[in-house]
Amino acid sequence: MTEQVVAHLSDIHFGVRCDLQQLADLERFIPTLSPRAIVVSGDIAQRARHGEFQAALRFLDGLARTAPVHLVPGNHDVQWWRSILGVLGQRVKYGKWRRYFGEDLTPVLELDDLVVAGMLSAHGFAWGSLTPNPNDTTVKGYLPAAEVARVRERFARTDPRKTRIAVLHHNVLPGVISNRWGLARPRAAQAALLTLDADLVLCGHDHTEGSGQLDGRLVVSTAGTHSVRTRGGRPSAFNLLRITADQIQVEHFIYARDARTFRPGDRSAYARYRRAAGAVQR
């Protein structure tokens, strides 16, 4: 297979914490990488306001001139206060999102050589997201069994030669600075993700870039943020994925504000598990 290049962005946060200069620089820089697809793993807005989503739509339309864009909601994109604990149903929480980005909260992008499947982990103030820590309320996410089953079934009927990428908002691995998980029951979520027979999981939420591997076979890419709210005063970053038949490489591109560009940072390479007749082989 030829090398597949995917740009992975997250946590742009249009609104009060938006970094407009950086986003203009990002929009100019992304085309230089010639990505096959661009994935944005949630928190496109800060308070799920109309103006924030309208600005985000314009930005995404600009990116789409370079490659197809895949987007899922993050916790800041959900109007959770309109249905606390789901008492008024689930649909009302995503009303504005659907108005600007379409009915499907978990879209699937399928190209000749890869398939990207969205997973909804952002539910706001919901039973599945609650933890003993009250500070986690509306922040943590969770993966319902139905989400996992849907994506597992979708990948099961995908050509085994295609790269399979699952996307959710909340970080699957603990943050490299915060050491915080994004999901309420992270170990159970990791076990569930391993059943997808995916090659990659893309996520964000923690505002710090990172990568890793689950069970030595499922690569995880965690993108940083393009807002002004980074952890530890670090510069913003996004991830570039380079995928071949034998390897998945995750490279962090770090924002250099003075030069108004992004420069290559740390790079991690993971051996890729090969799939034959529906089975996973090393």
Give the residue-averaged pLDDT of 118-127: 96
pLDDT score recorded for residue 275: 59
As a whole number of angstroms, the distance between CA 94 and CA 77 comes to 8
The mean-pLDDT minimum among 111-115, 123-127, 237-241, 272-276 falls in: 272-276
The mean-pLDDT minimum among 21-35, 50-64, 82-96, 103-117 falls in: 82-96
pLDDT score recorded for residue 165: 98
Q: What pTM did the predictor assign?
A: 0.95
As a whole number of angstroms, the distance between CA 46 and CA 100 comes to 15
Query: Which contiguous run of DSSP H or E holds residue 23?
Result: helix 20-29
The correct CATH number of 4-274 out of 3.40.50.800, 2.30.290.10, 3.60.21.10, 2.60.40.10 is 3.60.21.10
pLDDT score recorded for residue 273: 82
Domain boundaries, the chain: 4-274
Q: What is the pLDDT of residues 51-73, one digit of tens each?
A: 999 999 999 999 999 999 999 99
pLDDT score recorded for residue 277: 47
As a whole number of angstroms, the distance between CA 201 and CA 197 comes to 11
Q: What is the pLDDT of residues 135-147, one digit of tens each?
A: 899 999 999 999 9
As a whole number of angstroms, the distance between CA 278 and CA 265 comes to 35
As a whole number of angstroms, the distance between CA 274 and CA 282 comes to 6
The mean-pLDDT minimum among 100-104, 116-120, 134-138, 237-241 falls in: 134-138
pLDDT score recorded for residue 279: 42
What percent of the chain has a predicted confidence (pLDDT) above 70?
97
pLDDT at 24 over 60: yes
pLDDT at 280 over 50: no
The two three-digit tokens of residue 160, written as one number: 């085994």
pLDDT at 281 over 60: no
As a whole number of angstroms, the distance between CA 90 and CA 87 comes to 8
